[in-house]
Amino acid sequence: MIYKTILAENHKTVGLITLNRPDAMNALNGTLMTELIDALSVFDADEQIGAIVIAGSERVFAAGADISEMAKMSAVEMVKSSFVELFDGIRAIKKPIIAAVSGYALGGGCELAMSCDMIIASEKAKFGQPEINLGVIPGAGGTQRLTHAVGKAIAMEMVLNNRTLSAKEALEFGLINRVVPVEEYLDVALKLAKRIATRAPLALRQAKEAVNKAYELSLTEGLEFERRAFYFLFASEDQKEGMTAFVEKRKAEWRGR
């Protein structure tokens, strides 16, 4: 499918989505978010795809939401636009998503990266939530995911006082997975996605959901969810294949069922 604001490419077992609004520093508007969710859904439904990468350019991942689009909107118009709700579509994707970030990931761009399951960053990556400068606050998960990732103190400073984290700081505080040279960040993200895509599909889906539940449930509830998912996988062909292959000392051949 041809999109206006993103590029979608099939890299065999990995789907790559590139934000493509260079003249607007990849600012997120309704069209881009709608196209992004559509592309994610297409890759999620493709049995040949095991993982997905979302990237920007070396200069900017996404500099935030498109302020020119929302500056004059009323509260009612913002609700009706459903722009923020589009981010919920990322949570609905079952396959692992990796953000490949270089340059600025600010505001909605930072929220988009945090909506992914993992983040690979270049040495030039910058993460921030500058909404306070516009008289508002993060509205697409920034106050929540950021606090879970970096802790209350750093999140408060970023949200209340526009502190921007360098890639090194983001790694130190647990926001991202790793920092690599600019010329390598996309390749590293794709290689990670390709390795993940070799895993058992059903187990990947259950594992992703179980880890995400750790943020939403109590320890007792989370352990119960994990246990049910663990038992469920014993009804799959992949479990039988995986354990048989281990015993026979050979590589497993996953079927996703």
Three-state DSSP class for residue 125? coil
pLDDT of residue 83: 75
Q: How confident is the model at residue 22 (pLDDT cuts 50, 70, 90)?
A: very high
Query: What are the distances in angstroms from CA 216 to CA 95, 120, 170, 205, 207?
Result: 19, 24, 23, 17, 15
pLDDT of residue 1: 72
103 has catalytic annotation: no
Question: Kindly report the CA angle at 10 between 107 and 202, in degrees rounded to 5?
Answer: 85
Q: Is the predicted pLDDT of residue 81 greater than 90, yes or no?
A: no
pLDDT of residue 158: 97
pLDDT of residue 85: 83
Q: Is the predicted pLDDT of residue 150 greater than 80, yes or no?
A: yes
Catalytic residue among 39, 65, 121, 210: 65
**What is the overall mean pLDDT for the chain?**
93
Q: Is the predicted pLDDT of residue 84 greater than 90, yes or no?
A: no
Catalytic residue among 50, 56, 64, 108: 108
Instruction: Give me the mean pLDDT over the 217-222 stretch.
Output: 94
Instruction: Give me the mean pLDDT over the 167-174 stretch.
Output: 97
Catalytic residue among 113, 131, 203, 242: 131
**What is the C-alpha separation between 45 and 54, in angstroms, rounded?**
17
Listed in sequence order, the residues at least 6 apart from 255 whose beta carbon sits closer than 8 Å to its beta carbon are 237, 238, 241
Q: Is the predicted pLDDT of residue 72 greater than 90, yes or no?
A: no
Strand arrangement of the beta sheet that strand 104-106 belongs to: 60-62, 104-106, 126-128, 165-166
Three-state DSSP class for residue 180? strand
pLDDT of residue 69: 75
Lowest mean per-residue pLDDT among 100-109, 189-198, 219-228, 247-256 = 247-256
224 has catalytic annotation: no
Which neighbouring-strand residues pair with 179? Answer: 121
131 has catalytic annotation: yes
Task: Tell me the whole-structure pTM to 2 decimals.
Answer: 0.92
Instruction: Give me the mean pLDDT over the 90-108 stretch.
Output: 96
Are 59 and 102 contacting, i.e. CB atoms less than 8 angstroms apart? yes
pLDDT of residue 5: 96
User: Is 97 exposed, middle or buried, given 0-12, 13-18 or 19+ CB atoms closer than 10 A?
Assistant: buried
39 has catalytic annotation: no
Q: Is the predicted pLDDT of residue 87 greater than 90, yes or no?
A: no
Catalytic residue among 55, 105, 111, 128: 111
Q: How confident is the model at residue 75 (pLDDT cuts 50, 70, 90)?
A: confident
pLDDT of residue 3: 93
Better pLDDT: 77 or 54: 54
pLDDT of residue 80: 72
